[in-house]
Structures are given as C-alpha cells and as structure tokens.
Amino acid sequence: MSSSETGEDRYRSRSLWLDTCDDDLTPRAALGGDTSCDVAVVGGGMSGLWTARMLRDADPDLRIVVLEADVCGFGASGRNGGWCSALFPTPLRALEARSGRAAAVAQHRAMIDTVDAVGSDLTRLGIDVGFARGGTLAMATDPAHVRRLRRAVAERHDYGFDETDDRWLTPDEVVARVRLRDGGPDATAGAAFTPHCAAVDPARLTRGLARSVEADGVVVHEGTRVLSLGPGEARTDHGTVCAEVVLRCTEGYTAGLDGHRRDLLPLYSMMIATEPLPPEAWEVIGLEQRETFTDGRHLLVYGQRTRDGRLAFGGRGAPYHFGSRITDGQDRNTRVATALTETLHDLFPLTRDVRITHHWGGPLGVPRDWTASVGLDRRSGLGWAGGYVGDGVSTTHLAGRTLRDLVLGRETDLTRLPWVAHCSPRWEPEPLRWLGVNAGRVAAATADRREARTHRPSAIGRAMGWFTGGH
C-alpha cells in the first residue's frame, strides 16, 4: 500500500474483500457540527453496526448516530479471515475458574447459537455474504499437533459438548474433505472438526450492515474521528455529539483514544489471497463445503475457500509495535506474507503455480487476560464491546444483542453471561508490553520450527499458550 493512496483507493487496498465488495467506498458525509442523539456508537465495524442494527430493530424511535473515523469496514471487520465461528477466546477452564461451570458453558453455548443467528439475520436483511456453514477443520499437519488438538476436543466433551459439536476425524475422514499436500501419504494425522463455523465475506457483511442501518434511519457519519469520550458526549474532529449513551466499539484501535492506551493491545494478523483457482485444482484440494481450516501449530494460521474460488490464508507473526502504534504502513509485512505463502505452498502444493493477488493485514484487540467483554456503566452512560482476540466475526453479533439489552435496561440470559461487565486488567506500560508480546511471538515461532524438525511437541510450546487462541 503506498502512502500516496487516497480516498477510495486507500480503502479498497486494505483487503481482498474491500477490493472486491462492489460497494462505493467514497466516505459518507462527515458530522456537520455539534449535535445530539440518544445513542452514539463510536466505530463503524461489526461491533458498532450490529449494535446499531439491534437497537434500531428493538426501538425504531431511538435516535442513533454512528461515528466512523474512515469508512465502515475500514478496520478488522473489512479485512478478516471470514470465519464466523463459535470460538470464544477465553477457554472453558479459565471461564469456569472465574465465573463457575454453568456460566462458562453458557458463554460457549451462546457462541454456537450465534453462528446460526448471524446467518438468519443476514438472510432477513438481504445481505449476501456467501454464508457457507461448512465448519472448521483443525488439522494435525505434523504428528506433533495430534496430542494438543485431541486434548482440545476431549476438554470440550468434559464440559458437555458432544460429538455433534466437536469430534476427532481420522486421516481418512480428513482426506474425504481436503487433500493436503495433494493427498500424499501421511499428509495429515487427523483433525479436530466442528460444524459450528461459516465462511463469509466480511466486507460485504459490514458494508451491507452499514447500508441496512442507514436505510432504517440510523445516521452514519464517516470521516469523523472521535477524539475523546466522556459521560454524555463524544468529541470529534467535526464537532461534539451529546448522547445519553456513548458506546465504544473501536476494538484494535482503542489504544488511540484518550485514556484507553493500555486497555486493548493492537495485535496484527496478516493475510494473503490467491487468484481464483481452476475447477481442476479444487477437485484435488476439496473443501467442497467451504470448510474453514487451520492446523495445530502455535503461531496460528487460518484459511477459507472463498466464494469465488480463491484461497484466503492468514496468520500471526507480525511484530507488536512499540507504544501500541497503528499506522497504514503496518497493514503489510513482506516477511509475514512470504512465510504465509511458503506455508500455503507446503499445505497445497498446487498453489505454487497461482498468483498471490492480495496481501493485507490489520489490528485486532487483545485484552490483558484474553477475555472479550461487553458492558454499560449505567451511571455514566458509557458502554463498550471488544477484545475478541481475533474471534470477532460472530462475537460482535452477540455483543450487539447484549448491548441492546443493556441500553434498553432489559435483564436477559444475554446480560447474565460472564463476559458482561467483565473488566480486564490493563496492559503493562512500555517497554514491558513490547518486550513481553514480541518475546511470546518469537517463542511460538521457535516452538513451531522445533516441532517441524522433531515431530514431537515442543517444551517451549507447552510452556506458553499465548499465540494459540483465536486468529
């Protein structure tokens, strides 16, 4: 992405999805001066827009204003891997320790229900995102992965999730779905499978939501940066919005807001996409249900077969930037793109002959305890949603429904879930934050290299669980 990119080009170049979404990315009108409303939503990503959608559906008289610094979908929502999954970043065990077993299970069950809820809301709203509920394959692409993938399935069964939720597939069952390494012998030692995931086009989802809320009377201002939030107001570079309720939905960008620098750490995830593969290639590769896929390595990789027949493939490994800095230049990283391309070539050798047409990335929000949260302080009228650690596509929908209930003062099953009103500790000040996060990244990469050499689980990997959850 060149620094000279402006306007539409600047937005289109952020991802395959934004590039191909067929929407006019010219920013909507900015805020035209001071104004007032009932609910001001800061951030035009999936969190902000699902929240606006749910509030609008529940109370058509509410005056809702969305304030977006760039354009809706500019952030992670327009750039992600398109896994609409039931993943919640906090493991069951950790949630149980904090909130009890029933609450932990309720949170994870709510995530499963959310995958279908996203699908039916998109159908209701007429937003076509190529929703394909093919599930997720977490493959053992090295024998070293088997034990921890099997343990993850067993742990979920311990909590009452059954074979219809998570199960182990034998190598033959995996080959029936996907031919890794051209279906060569020993290409996989099995896989954990869950049906609870749909592949989607995230930019079409986000842009479609923006159009749908606007059509129903929500005011959406783009090119309007919120400088600070306080009880009853959001101060922007184009005027101040006075509102009874102000909702912070800025996720990976939260550190840029006054007073929130250490709330959520911006962690970059990067992606590449191939040109559309010919049907003969898909006959070899498989993924006919458009199953999303990952494997058992520590430095996470993830992919989907897109509706137009590409492989969109992403992973962690980009550095954390000192002081939680976020700039346009960080949205690409040649070293990570090269590593992702090599991994894709290893997993699907047929892709060696196809062009990589897109490379991009973006920040996602990580709370210090890896626990996403949603909440509303009734006294100040300030609310928030975020910290999904890369599992935000469906979680934002759960967040939107929950914020709706909180804003409307309803006590529901949603408002009783353990992530509601959860306050994560703040991140350490620099340079500790930079040292710790980047050391974790290097350790994960080292563990993966060792496992690829020895085909045995690495002790370093066992010692650190840091980069293994979410995307």
Ligand X SMILES: Cc1cc2nc3c(=O)[nH]c(=O)nc-3n(C[C@H](O)[C@H](O)[C@H](O)COP(=O)(O)OP(=O)(O)OC[C@H]3O[C@@H](n4cnc5c(N)ncnc54)[C@H](O)[C@@H]3O)c2cc1C
Which residues make up the interface to ligand X (CB under 6 A)?
42-48, 67-70, 74-77, 79-83, 85, 225-226, 249-253, 256-257, 269, 271, 314, 361-362, 364, 386, 388, 390-393, 396, 471
- Coil, strand or helix: which one is 266? strand
Helix (H) or strand (E) holding 97: helix 92-99
In angstroms, what is the minimal distance from the CB of 409 to ligand X?
Answer: 23
Please give the span between the terminal C-alpha atoms of the chain, in angstroms, as a whole number: 23
In angstroms, what is the minimal distance from the CB of 25 to ligand X?
Answer: 12
In angstroms, what is the minimal distance from the CB of 309 to ligand X?
Answer: 18
In angstroms, what is the minimal distance from the CB of 43 to ligand X?
Answer: 3
In angstroms, what is the minimal distance from the CB of 61 to ligand X?
Answer: 25
For Cα atoms 133, 136, 139, give the angle at the middle one, nearest 5 degrees. Answer: 155
Query: Cβ neighbours of residue 410 under 8 Å, at least 6 residues apart?
Result: none
Structure tokens at 217: 């009377």
What gap in Å lies between CA 432 and CA 323, rounded to an integer?
10
What gap in Å lies between CA 414 and CA 277, rounded to an integer?
42
| Cis preceding-peptide flag for 431 (omega within 30 of 0) | yes
Closer to ligand X by CB, 169 or 336: give it.
336
What gap in Å lies between CA 262 and CA 438, rounded to an integer?
16
Closer to ligand X by CB, 83 or 427: give it.
83
Closer to ligand X by CB, 385 or 460: give it.
385
In angstroms, what is the minimal distance from the CB of 58 to ligand X?
Answer: 19
In angstroms, what is the minimal distance from the CB of 363 to ligand X?
Answer: 6
In angstroms, what is the minimal distance from the CB of 396 to ligand X?
Answer: 5
Closer to ligand X by CB, 83 or 460: give it.
83
Closer to ligand X by CB, 68 or 295: give it.
68
Q: Is the distance from CB of 18 to CB of 12 less than 8 angstroms?
A: yes
Query: Cβ neighbours of residue 408 under 8 Å, at least 6 residues apart?
Result: 55, 58, 59
In angstroms, what is the minimal distance from the CB of 185 to ligand X?
Answer: 31
Closer to ligand X by CB, 396 or 458: give it.
396
Closer to ligand X by CB, 220 or 285: give it.
220
Q: What is Dmax (Cα atoms) for the chain?
A: 66
CA distances, 295 to each of 251, 283, 471 (Å)? 26, 21, 12
What gap in Å lies between CA 39 and CA 406, rounded to an integer?
12
Q: Please identify the residue of the shown chain whose CB is closest to the bound ligand X.
A: 392
In angstroms, what is the minimal distance from the CB of 102 to ligand X?
Answer: 25
CA distances, 83 to each of 77, 118, 214, 297, 360 (Å)? 11, 12, 26, 18, 17
Closer to ligand X by CB, 71 or 443: give it.
71
Q: Are strands 64-67 and 35-42 parallel, antiparallel or unpaired?
A: parallel
Closer to ligand X by CB, 314 or 381: give it.
314
What gap in Å lies between CA 201 and CA 207, rounded to an integer?
10
Closer to ligand X by CB, 252 or 296: give it.
252
Q: Specify the long-range contacts of residues 121-126, CB closer than 8 Å, at least 24 apart.
A: 121/53, 121/397, 122/205, 122/208, 125/53, 125/208, 125/209, 125/212, 126/212
Query: Cβ neighbours of residue 168 under 8 Å, at least 6 residues apart?
Result: 149, 150, 153, 190, 191, 192, 193
What gap in Å lies between CA 61 and CA 69, rounded to an integer?
26
Closer to ligand X by CB, 190 or 386: give it.
386
In angstroms, what is the minimal distance from the CB of 283 to ligand X?
Answer: 26
Q: Are strands 356-366 and 265-274 parallel, antiparallel or unpaired?
A: antiparallel
Closer to ligand X by CB, 224 or 458: give it.
224
Structure tokens at 47: 């969190």
In angstroms, what is the minimal distance from the CB of 439 to ligand X?
Answer: 22
Residue 312: φ, ψ to 5°? -105, 125
